Structure 1
């Protein structure tokens, strides 16, 4: 008897899902009636001239008379799509449509996916800046490093709406929240932990920045060319602040004695042999999708004292950006924030970490097919909230809005 191939079955079901008519995952639905001559005269000419004149007199009126205040552009050049690499903007469109779907499903934010065939960083910056006036926020997605750093920093300086690269900051927020809880369960302090990050792209650098902001001193990173140290000549300006490892370290030395290992790379990037050299009661985050950097089942077997997280929805402790970006933008849009700044990110980290410690409602347990006593309870296999928890929006978005107001970037 031939056993079914789970990967082949998933591929078939995914293709059927996306091809079901209408193809793709998005459509445009009018929010106002247009069924009568009167409706038409209000929606378009001559009535539409009235809000045009109001916006000319006061540009902020665009938030009152258009969809701008609840509209996010999901923008990619397709150079770092999932774990598939530089597949190009057209092949990246299913992912961008999916991101827009999640914005709507989890935070009731309208989003347009925009795929850009950009020549270089400057071209992409120009394109995004040119279309920005119509949006309340910009979500940059799947843009390879170091271009992603250059594009985001330039747009943040140019625009007065939130510009957010989810592969950087969204990942960093979720990792930081989950890590705080995991280390507490392991009886360790965040500020005293040795953290080894395998992968020094957009996510790796952003996680390092976030953890440093939270007080972690011993942070070391590696990439395909080895451990980051000050003698390397191939590092960008964004990597250099984290090139602090001894020059003679290899990956095995970086991992030896680590309290925390965070993989944001590819399958196999965390060597199995290194697991035995980690500190007692380690935390292992293997976040590559769909195949983690080290097999979670093997890691559990070799290190039964570890707390393990992945990016997969079919395993405990899913560290996934859907816990962050919808609610970060919801909080920012609700107060018409000019940016998503560090205090807002830290507020999201704190809210997510605290929510995981709260009793989980029966309705959430039921969605995930769990019942007492095996239900979701704060512990080694539940260190971060589940994506379908309806409390995420009020908890995280509320904290982000409050931080925006307190830090002076809110318009209202």
Structure 2
């Protein structure tokens, strides 16, 4: 829930208050004589919000205030309006301000200074280039932007935690993804949000647009449809198809676990992992964990542990029965967690109880990745837990896909790769883990803004793609 803002429990609820974030920030212009900035900061802090910046201006004060949700935004306005010396307060939601007119633009790489450049960039000169590509199709990689272009393809059926909200509502998320591609790896990514509700529809769209792109990043497509879409597109096309909700998460989770295993002094092959939540991310995490030789994997869905008694399972869930749960354990999440070395939560807020975690092995590792409120909050972990990670930036060890997908695509594009294989994903995870040379309980991953993350991942991905014969010859 996003209605509270500090690290304590509300007196009338057992739901933890979330911390203030600029995702719910207010921009305030406060008019009035002699407004006391210190008083403003204190009054806002008293209700759990946070002044991130303030500046005295003619006739008053301007401030940026981080809140925990829309309810606290209203509370902030009410508090500020009652401060001594305040004549009026105007406000705007900075997140909506940032999105006005969208977050991306198309910018030309070459300047058209006059008729001479126009004749080369467009007709008649451009026709010569088109003719050359028609005669030598591989020339498209050199003489167009395809070699640095990625489609961010979504039908809006599983957007963040919002569900099936449609392609139009998915656009801000896909634009944000494009910004991250460019910011972290210099990749030109294009949001492609489509009215394509079925597997066949999305596959048809992906296949149709493929000649424009060097890769396709599938995004926010619901499970289990996302598995078939990715598989069919990869079989049809000679460019990498990468569902980030699956594989970006898996790469970062595996990187974090490789280092967490060092912290607790245990080999990967001896660790038993329970995954609560066997949707897109949970399935991909399981597959990549198996690739690195994890000891055992137990999957838990909304009906309980995936075991031999469960009939009619989708193939993505049957995998857990066929490749994990070696003792054929039954029950629910509580029973699956008991005795486990590692818990990976990819489900929902607050669903894991402290005493369940207490039943895990000593030196346990817990990745509680529901966002913004994890399955169990880090401050409520029992003493047997040695390493904790979440999906949040306000705790150590943030599992953030931005550590993976920019570098993965940078590496694939650099060698014009045809596939993002399991080996490529493993190479990305191992490169990411290796960036932390001396892991600790509070540092099993590099930070998202640390220099060189995408470059290091990209080099490892390119090398692995070449090794597997997935790279195109670049002439």
TM-score w.r.t. length of structure 1: 0.91
C-alpha separation in 1, matches of 2:472 and 2:237 = 14
Deviation, 1:162, is 0.8
Q: Following superposition of structure 1 onto structure 2, how do residues 63-212 of structure 1 map, counting pairs within 5 Å? A: 63-212=141-290
Contact kept, 8 Å, 1:51 with 1:65, in 2: the verdict is yes
C-alpha spacing 1:399/1:297, structure 2 compared with 1 (3 Å): same
Other-structure match for 1:239? 317
**What does the per-residue CA deviation read over 1:43-85, in whole Å, with 9 as the maximum and x for residues that have no partner?**
1111110110111011111111110000000011111111222
Q: 1:266 Cα shift?
A: 1.0
Q: Which runs of 5+ in 2 are unaligned?
A: 1-42, 50-66, 74-90
Distance 1:330 1:265 in 2: 30
In the TM superposition, what whole-angstrom CA distance separates every residue of 1:152-203 from its partner, at most 9, and x where no partner exists? 0000000001110011111111100100110111111111111000000010
| Counterpart in the other structure of 2:428 | 348
Equivalent residues of 1:266, 1:292 under 8 A apart:
yes
**Superposed displacement of residue 343, structure 1:** 1.6
Residue by residue, what CA displacement relative to the aligned partner does 1:105-153 show, whole Å, maximum 9, x if unpaired?
A: 0000001001111131111100111011100110001111100000000
Partner Cα separation in structure 1 for residue 288 and residue 389 of structure 2:
18
SS in structure 1 at match of 2:470? coil
1: CA distance between counterparts of 2:442 and 2:375?
19
Matched, 1:390 2:459: no
Query: 1:408 maps to what in 2?
Result: 469
TM-superposed deviation, 1:391? 1.7
CA distance in 2, matches of 1:15, 1:180: 40
1:216-227 aligned at under 5 Å gives the runs 216-227=294-305
Q: What are the equivalent positions in structure 2 for 1:23-102 lying under 5 Å apart?
A: 23-102=101-180
Residue correspondences, number: 391
The CA RMSD measured in Å over matched residues stands at 1.9
**In the TM superposition, what is the alpha-carbon distance from 1:10 to its structure 2 partner?**
11
Distance 1:10 1:136, change over 3 A: farther
Residue 338 (1) aligns with residue 418 (2): yes
Shift of 1:329: 0.4
CA displacement, residues 288-323 of structure 1 (integer Å, 9 cap, x when unaligned): 111111111112xx2364210011111100111100
Distance (whole Å) between structure 2 residues aligned to residue 44 and residue 33 of structure 1: 12
1-side partners of 2:251 and 2:149: how far apart?
22
**1:293 matches 2:375:** yes
Aligned residue among 347, 352, 359 for 1:265: 347
CA contact (8 A) 1:55 1:62 kept: yes
Once residues 431 and 416 of structure 2 are traced to their aligned partners in structure 1, the CA distance between those partners, rounded to angstroms, is: 20
Structure 1 gaps of 5+ residues are: 359-377
Q: Distance in 1 between matches of 2:304 and 2:211?
A: 42
Rg larger for: 2
Quote the residue 1:325 is aligned against: 405
Deviation at 1:14, TM superposition (A): 9.8
Task: Give, in whole Å, the separation in 1 of the partners of 2:131 and 2:472.
Answer: 22
Give the stretch that moved more between structures: 328-337 or 7-16: 7-16
Larger RCO: 1 or 2 (CA < 8 Å, sep 6+):
1
- TM-score of the aligned structures, taking structure 2 as reference length: 0.79
